[in-house]
Amino acid sequence: MNEKYEKYLPLGSVVLLKEAKKRVMITGYLIQSPQFGEKVFDYVGCLYPEGVISHDKNLLFDHKDIHQIFAIGYSDDEQKEYAEKLKKMTGLSEL
């Protein structure tokens, strides 16, 4: 279902990841964790509806890992402009 929506979903979007039972709310973008070396993930999120419980409970995932989108977060011109900047930073705007 995520093919219908381009990267990057607005903050606050609620998704279900492949192989997951709990939903996740997107809270940030382009996160790198020392645990995964040089890998940069498309998104960081927290469990929904619990929210951010502690920094070590964040979930890192890529757009391709999204199985289903339950809600799209708030989007305005500022968010759309920022999403375009993210695409340029990651080379997606050249596709």
Model confidence pLDDT, tens digit, residues 58-94 = 999 999 999 999 999 999 999 999 988 988 888 765 5
Indicate the SS3 state at residue 91: coil
> Residue 51: which residues within 8 A CB-CB, separation 6 or more?
25
**pLDDT (tens digit, 9 = 90+) per residue, 1-58?**
445 567 889 999 999 999 999 999 999 999 888 888 889 999 999 999 999 988 788 9
CB proximity list for 92: less than 8 A, separation 6 or greater: 7, 86
Q: Say which residue the tokens 């759309």 belong to.
A: 80
Single pTM value for the model:
0.85
If we measure between CA atoms, which residue out of 38, 14, 35, 42 comes closest to residue 26?
A: 14
